[in-house]
Each structure stands twice: as structure tokens, then as C-alpha cells.
Amino acid sequence: MLKVENLNGYYGDMQALWDISFEVGQGELVTLVGANGAGKTTTLNAISGILRGKTGEILFNGNSIQDLPPDKIAELGIIQVPEGRKLWPNLTVLENLELGAFLRKNRKDRTKNLMRVYDLFPRLKERKNQLGGTLSGGEQQMLAIGRALMSQPSILMLDEPSLGLAPILVKDVFKVVRQINQQGVTVLLVEQNLRYALETCSRGYVLETGHVSLQGTSQELLENPHVKKAYLGM
């Protein structure tokens, strides 16, 4: 479904990505893991069209999206949940969710998708009239994911969904990520909590200083000596 080949990313004259290559098959749950500053968010921003300084090839269902603007990429069903949630704090939970169905093709199914989000996150239904900015961190993450699901994504790209959450909430978030994938949504997960990410996903790629340093099944990466030493403290 998604194929990235020899992607190089730049912020002005500064290069942040070097020949990044990976792929995500339809229905897969794949993760990009690595330390803070490894280039994970930059990679997602390049796919979404937010990062314009890039070379290489980005293919979605066999078609190049390399030069498309972000709104056209979103129309294709490539939806990103950004790091830090990026909610509208002065709008209600319901209004935030409805804005996720802003594209014309999503509006006719808005009620059905809203019920789907409420099934996944009953807390959002309870707080539908509450301002987004007054929610707890965990609830805001639920809202950010729910807003993305309102867009009926073909591929959902999650950027650091566990960031700033208490450990018990982190478990809940990854449980929901698996549930979303089991419902048929392809997921690309970016995460620095390597253990949780690899235990959730079937395959993974390790990013280090803008390069893909390792790739393999989740089990292979969890058993890799470098991963154990550098990321798992073993």
C-alpha cells in the first residue's frame, strides 16, 4: 500500500533523512521506532506532504504522491495523528470529531463513523460537549485518534501516541491501536517506546540519526543484541 524509496529530507540546508526506504502492506500494522530526534516525525511529515524539502519516491497504491500537497494526500486516505495531538482546544469534543469528517467524501458517513469512534472511546461520548482543551492527556489522545478515524483512513499514521501518558494509559492506547488494525485499517506507528511498539506490531524499522539501521519482524528486533543494549537496557 505504501512504499518509501530512498527518501531524503531537508530543513533548509540541513539534511534530516538519508535514503529512508520501507514499505507497509495493506492491512499491516508496522512501526518506525527510534530515539528522540531519529527522524521518525520527519518521515511521517514527508509522507503527508508537510515536509516539502525532500527527494526520493513515495508511492501509495503504486502511484507517486511525492509532489502532492497535504490536502490531496489526505483525500487519498493517508491520515496522520500528529505528535502532541494538535486539537482545537476551544471547540467541544464533538466539534473536534466533526472536523475530522471535513472532506466531502466523509460527510455522508459522518454519523456512522461517529458511532464507531464512540464505540472505541466511550469516554468521548460522555464528554462530547466538553471543550477539547479541558480533557486529560489520555482523553486528548483518544480525541486525536478519533478525529483521524472520522476521515475514514486507508492508512492511519500515528506519531508518538504514548507521549506524556501514564503507563496504564499507554497500555490502553496500544490496545486500541491493535483494535483499529483488526477492524481493517492499515497502521503505520511511530514510537520511541520501542518495547510497546514492537509488541504491538508485526514488523518494524529502527531509525537512527536519519537512517534505517535495522528492520525485521518484531520478534527479530526484540531479540537483536543492539536493540537490547541501546533501547531495552539489557
Q: Which residues of the chain carry a pLDDT beneath 50?
A: none
CB 41 within 8 A of CB 83: yes
Which among 23, 16, 19 has a CA at the least distance from the CA of 53? Answer: 16
Can you give the residue ranges of every domain in the chain? 1-77+154-234, 86-152
- pLDDT of 110: 86
Phi, psi torsion values for 60, nearest 5 degrees: -125, 115
Name, in order, each residue with C-beta under 8 angstroms of 58's C-beta and a sequence gap of 6 or more. Answer: 2, 3, 4, 5, 7, 46, 47, 64, 65, 66
CATH 3.40.50.150 fits 1-77+154-234, yes or no: no
- pLDDT of 185: 96
Q: What is the pTM of this model?
A: 0.93
Q: Are strands 54-60 and 2-11 parallel, antiparallel or unpaired?
A: antiparallel
3-state secondary structure of 72: helix
Which among 100, 55, 101, 49 has a CA at the least distance from the CA of 71? Answer: 49
Name, in order, each residue with C-beta under 8 angstroms of 53's C-beta and a sequence gap of 6 or more. Answer: 9, 10, 11, 12
